[in-house]
Structure 1
Amino acid sequence: MIEEPSDRLIEQRIRNRIYEILEILAECDEGVDLVSINGYFNLFEDFVHRPSIESGMSALSRDERAIVLEIAHFLEVACEATPDFTKAEFIASGWPEQIAPKARDARALFLIRGLFSEEFEEAEPGRANIAQAAR
C-alpha cells in the first residue's frame, strides 16, 4: 500500500519545484528558450498561487515568500504587457533580462536554507521533524 504524502511533505516538494523554476527564470533568454513562452509564465504560476503560500503557511520562509510573490507579480505584469508576443518578441522586449536578476536573488535566498527532502518531513532542510524521526 502506498502512503499518501503529508501536507507538509507536499509543501516541501512545492518549495523545491519553485527553486527549480527560479533556476529557469534566472537563465534569462535561455530560460525562455528552454521552456517556451507559455512554460516561462505558467510553470511558476502553477506552484505559486496556492492558499498555503499566499497565507504564509507553506515551507517557504517569510523572506522567501515575499520574493516569490514579488516575482509572481512581475511575471503577471510582463504577461499583461506582452499578451500575444512570440518567444522571439518576448525575449526582444527585455522582460527576461528584467526578471532574471530577481530570480537569481530568490535562488540565492533559497540556497541559504537549502532544499528540503522529497521523502520525509523536515522542520528545516537537513533537520527531520521530531515526530517524523520517531517513526
Structure 2
Amino acid sequence: MTNEPSARLIEQRVRNRIYEILESLADCDAGVDLIGINGYFHLFDDFLHHPSIESGMSVLSKDERAIVLEIADFLEAACAATPDFTRAEFIESGWPRQIAPKARDARTLFLRRGLFSEEFDESEPGQPIVLSAGR
C-alpha cells in the first residue's frame, strides 16, 4: 500500500525542483548546455505555473515568489527576443548572462531558509510538522 504525498509535501518538492532549476540558470552558458534550450525555458515554466504559486499559497516565501516571477519574466522576454534560435545564437545573444545573476540571487534567497524534506511535511526547512495526539 502506497501512501499518497500530502499537498504540503508536494509543495515542498515543487520548491526544491525550482531551486534545482535555478542552479542551472545560475550557471549561465553552462546551464544552457546542461539542460538544453527547451529545458532552459520550459522546466522553470512547468513548475512556476503550479496553481499554488500563481495564487501565492505555496511554500515559497513572498520574496522567493517575487524573484521567481521576475526570472520568469526574463525567460519570457528572452524567448520572445530570440525566436527560432539555435543554442549558439541564444548564448551569443547574452540572455543567459543577463538571467544568471538574478538566478544566483534567487538561489541565495532559497538557501537562507534551506531546502525542504522530500519525505515528510515541514513547517519550515528542518522543522517537521508535529501532529497532535488527538488527530
TM-score, L = length of structure 2: 0.96
Q: Which runs of 5+ in 2 are unaligned?
A: none
Structure 1 counterpart of 2:34, one-letter code: L
Q: What's the secondary structure of 1:130's corresponding residue?
A: coil
Match of 1:46 in 2: 46
1:133–1:66 distance in 2 versus 1, CA, 3 Å: farther
Alignment RMSD, CA only?
Answer: 1.6
Structure 1 counterpart of 2:9, one-letter code: L
**1: distance between equivalents of 2:132 and 2:125?**
14
Contact 1:28 1:96 in 2 (8 A): yes
**1: distance between equivalents of 2:15 and 2:133?**
21
Match of 1:66 in 2: 66
- The alpha carbon displacement at 1:33 in A equals 0.5
Q: What's the secondary structure of 2:76's corresponding residue?
A: helix
Residues 85-128 of structure 1 show CA distances to partners (whole Å, capped at 9, x for unaligned) of: 00000000000000000000000000000000000000000001
Match of 1:110 in 2: 110
% of aligned pairs identical?
Answer: 76
Structure 2 counterpart of 1:67, one-letter code: I
Q: What's the secondary structure of 2:57's corresponding residue?
A: coil
Contact 1:120 1:132 in 2 (8 A): no
Match of 2:131 in 1: 131
Residues 63-100 of structure 1 show CA distances to partners (whole Å, capped at 9, x for unaligned) of: 00000011011101111111100000000000000000
TM-score, L = length of structure 1: 0.96
**2: distance between equivalents of 1:34 and 1:15?**
20
**2: distance between equivalents of 1:132 and 1:40?**
43
Contact 1:9 1:121 in 2 (8 A): yes
**2: distance between equivalents of 1:130 and 1:87?**
48
Which runs of at least 4 in structure 1 moved beyond 3 Å after TM superposition? 132-135
